[in-house]
Amino acid sequence: MQLSTKHLLGIKNLLKEDISTILSTARQFKEVLQRPIKKVPSLRDVTIVNLFYENSTRTRISFELAEKRLSADAINFAASASSVSKGETLLDTVNNILSMKVDMVVMRHSASGAPHFLARHVPAAIINAGDGINEHPTQALLDAFSITERLGVLEGKKILLVGDITHSRVALSNIHLLKKMGAEVMVAGPPTLIPKYIEEALQVKVEYNLKKALAWCDVANILRIQLERQNQVLFSSLREYNLAYGVTKKILDEINKEIIIMHPGPINRGVEIDSDVADSNQSIILQQVENGVAVRMAVLYLLSGVKN
Ligand code: CP
């Protein structure tokens, strides 16, 4: 099996067939990860660099673990501990790394479009691990994988994204993926955190009342307020945000409907989600993290060009 693309830069330009191929390959790798010996030789002799110009817990560890489970040689690069601080450019950094015979690059960067720039200038396969406010494709793939584990298919399912839609790369990748796969998508949050014209541009529903939005959906994916990406005051305080848009046990009890609760992490307890929701049986937050390894194994394997 192969994908129609050499790189994974985003979901926007990925074919529906590519998404299905990644999800079905991830199912096979998840089965491998349940075995006592979780390692397969699929990417032996393939070298992958994890190039992180921005902080990460889940994505960086998940990619590294996926690479190790596939028997690839994994190298970790943190910009803060590199010669970037001495003025080296992104392109010089990557070309120096590639000259050491590196085959694939996993990259997170605070600048939207940074992986697209690299893909135009270097021969290696580039995988976007999150670029600015643009896309986070492997997060959307693992979210989709986690939903299908619970609900079987995405087609016709009602998926709600709650919170800071404007600054969330997770939201944009999720919207592209869910729409391609036939799900209905709604976004909810304060008007200042939802882009104007999103309804027409991306064919999603918009709801400013959290209770109505939760009553509509099968799945609620709750997003963090991206304070580090906001350069102006967009809501009065975190306390007031929690009162209007925080997903609490009280509001879930009021709608009296068993919806699935998701969050890409990191979670801010008591802001966008309360602890008794994040830690409840309705929450699949840690299953999302678990599934990330199998999904990233699938992406790396399918983009490596290795034919086993
Ligand atoms: N979900 C996610 O991207 O988390 P990290 O920032 O910890 O990688």
> Can you list the positions of beta strands (E) in the chain?
47-52, 73-78, 104-109, 125-131, 158-162, 184-188, 205-207, 219-222, 260-262
Ligand 1: distance of its center to the CA of 264 in Å?
7
Counting residues of the chain whose pLDDT is more than 90, the rounded percentage is: 91
Q: What is the pLDDT of residue 236?
A: 77
pLDDT of residue 305: 85
- Residue 184 predicted with pLDDT over 60: yes
Q: How confident is the model at residue 31 (pLDDT cuts 50, 70, 90)?
A: very high
Q: What does pTM read for this prediction?
A: 0.96
Contact partners, residue 209, CB within 8 Å, separation at least 6: 188
Instruction: Give me the pLDDT at residue 44, please.
Output: 97
Which token pair is 70? 């596939």
What is the band of 228 on the pLDDT scale with cuts at 50, 70, 90?
Answer: confident
Q: Could you give the C-alpha distances from 285 to 20, 51, 53, 266, 275, in angstroms and in order?
A: 22, 25, 25, 10, 12
Contact 158, 218 (CB under 8 A): yes
pLDDT above 90: residue 234: no
59 lines ligand 1 (CB under 6 A): yes
Residue 186 DSSP SS3: strand
**pLDDT (0 to 100) of residue 1:** 78
Q: CB neighbours (10 Å) of residue 228?
A: 11
**CA angle centred on 176, ends 20 and 233, rounded to 5°:** 145
Please give the pLDDT value at position 235.
75
Mean pLDDT of the chain: 95
pLDDT tier at 232, thresholds 50, 70, 90 = low
* pLDDT tens sequence across 40-91: 999 999 999 999 999 999 999 999 999 999 999 999 999 988 899 899 999 9
Distance CA 14, CA 200 (A): 21
Which protein residue has the closest C-alpha to ligand 1 atom 3? 59
pLDDT at 158: 98
Contact 140, 170 (CB under 8 A): yes
Q: How confident is the model at residue 307 (pLDDT cuts 50, 70, 90)?
A: low
**Predicted local distance difference test score (pLDDT) of residue 153:** 98
pLDDT band at 233 (very low <50, low <70, confident <90, very high): low
C-alpha of residue 60 to centroid of ligand 1, in Å: 8
Nearest atom in ligand 1 to the alpha carbon of residue 55 is: 6
With 70 as the cut, is the pLDDT of residue 292 above it? yes
Which residues, including other chains, have CB under 8 Å from residue 162's CB and lie 6 or more apart?
187, 188, 189, 210, 213, 220, 221, 222, 223, 245, 247, 272
Nearest-atom number in ligand 1 for the CA of 108 is: 8
CA of 304 to the centre of ligand 1 (A): 23
Does the structure show a pLDDT above 80 at 308?
no
Residue whose CA is at the smallest distance from ligand 1 atom 6: 56
Which of 58, 164, 221, 284 to mutate to test ligand 1, by most ligand atoms within 8 A of the CB atom?
Answer: 58
pLDDT of residue 306: 66
For the chain, the residue count is 308
